[in-house]
Amino acid sequence: MTLASAAPGYDLNELDLYSSILKEAPVLPAPVHAPIYAPAPVIKTIAPAPIYAPAPVFAPVPVIKSIAPVAPVVKAIAPATSYATFTQYHVSHPVVKIGAKKRGTNLYSPCDIVVQVKQRIYGENISITESEARISLENLLDHTAKCLAQVQSEVLEQCITDDVVDTDIVHKWGLDGCAGYRFYKNLSNNANYGHS
């Protein structure tokens, strides 16, 4: 077999040049500690590849990284805010909770916690019926002061020292017209109860 027939399409001079380089390469002596083996018989002679073979051209492979979606951190709504939301939008707790579960979240507090917060928000000695809500002025002021103290507990802890025994809360009732409330008469939807 000749070099030309072994590598069709290549220049014969390049193949001869490469073959002559391989033949003239120095043979390194075997290490002293290595055993000497007889050379293996040649099974098939293959023509060497050209020195400057054209590099194969590969099409760029688009790299697509699969990015796992990051679930947003969803914080539960505080029970008081949860109750206020239900009151403001006139929805029931189960309806909102079912909608949140469908979206894979548990935003709102359980029903029993909302009921407890509702009872705390109403305060003591309050009577609520279908037509009216009654609370004494003293109970209303006490309840308002408790709510303000709970909300601002961190500020109060920083401002009030250990030697303080009593704290006075100064408030203004606001029925003198300076608060902008000039119309105190509200229309009722129920004709049996009249106007208040």
Residues 94-107: tens digit of each pLDDT: 777 777 777 777 66
Question: Which three-class secondary structure state does DSSP give residue 127?
Answer: strand
pTM confidence score: 0.35
| pLDDT at 183 > cutoff 80 | no
| pLDDT at 3 > cutoff 50 | no
Task: Return mean pLDDT, the chain.
Answer: 67
The pLDDT confidence band at residue 46, using thresholds 50, 70 and 90, is low
- The mean pLDDT of 78-85, rounded to a whole number, is 70
- The mean pLDDT of 6-35, rounded to a whole number, is 54
Predicted pLDDT at 97: 74
Name which of 101, 108, 64, 100 is nearest 83 in CA terms: 108
Domain extents for the chain?
Answer: 73-122
The pLDDT confidence band at residue 30, using thresholds 50, 70 and 90, is low
| pLDDT at 127 > cutoff 50 | yes
Q: Of 39-43, 63-67, 129-133, give the lowest mean pLDDT range.
A: 63-67
- In angstroms, the CA 9 to CA 141 distance is 103
What contacts 21, CB < 8 A, 6 or more positions away?
none
| pLDDT at 132 > cutoff 80 | yes
**Structure tokens given for 38:** 């007889």
- In angstroms, the CA 137 to CA 131 distance is 19
Determine what percent of the chain is predicted with pLDDT higher than 90.
0
- In angstroms, the CA 7 to CA 49 distance is 8
Higher pLDDT, 173 or 11: 173
Determine what percent of the chain is predicted with pLDDT higher than 70.
42
Higher pLDDT, 82 or 154: 154
